[in-house]
């Protein structure tokens, strides 16, 4: 009986010795990211620029507020930040800043979410 106990203990130690290195070789789990292959074969983020259509509520030097919606969603207020690359096109003419926008202007805004901010990439004033 003592021999069976020793054999069982030795077997358990050997199994533990082989399991621990196998677990240690597995790297930390990485968060899954969804991607789509483009025609060129390169993977790109599945969620890219998005679009909101609505009406300008207010403007400042650093951004503006639109009451509007994304396709298939309900209206809500959107506060957009501006950066140096934001394009503002007012009725076919390139505007200089968001201050060129007026309250009540119908707009379409293409934006991205960067560092927790909603940053406008382009703003187009639509015909009333």
Distance CA 13, CA 25 (A): 19
Collect the ranges in the chain with pLDDT lower than 50: 23, 27-46
| pLDDT tens sequence across 85-109 | 888 887 767 666 677 788 999 999 9
43 contact partners, CB below 8 Å, separation of at least 6: 35, 36, 37
Mean pLDDT across the chain, nearest whole number? 75
pLDDT (0 to 100) of residue 12: 61
Domains and CATH numbers, the chain: 49-125 (2.40.50.320)
pLDDT (0 to 100) of residue 73: 94
Q: Which tokens sit at 65?
A: 């507020």
Are the C-beta atoms of 125 and 107 separated by less than 8 Å?
Answer: yes
pTM above 0.85, yes or no: no
Single out the residue of 52, 36, 46, 35 nearest to residue 119, CA to CA.
52
């Amino acid at each position: 009986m003592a021999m069976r106990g020793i054999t069982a203990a030795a077997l358990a130690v050997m199994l533990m010795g082989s399991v621990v290195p196998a677990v240690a070789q597995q790297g930390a789990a990485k968060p899954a990211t969804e991607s789509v292959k483009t025609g060129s074969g390169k993977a790109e983020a599945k969620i890219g620029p998005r679009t909101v259509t609505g009406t300008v509520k207010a403007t400042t030097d650093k951004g503006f507020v639109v009451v509007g919606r994304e396709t298939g969603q309900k209206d809500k207020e959107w506060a957009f930040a501006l950066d140096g690359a934001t394009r503002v096109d007012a009725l076919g003419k390139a505007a200089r800043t968001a201050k060129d926008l007026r309250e009540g202007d119908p707009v379409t805004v293409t934006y991205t979410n960067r560092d927790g901010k909603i940053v406008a990439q382009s703003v187009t004033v639509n015909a009333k």
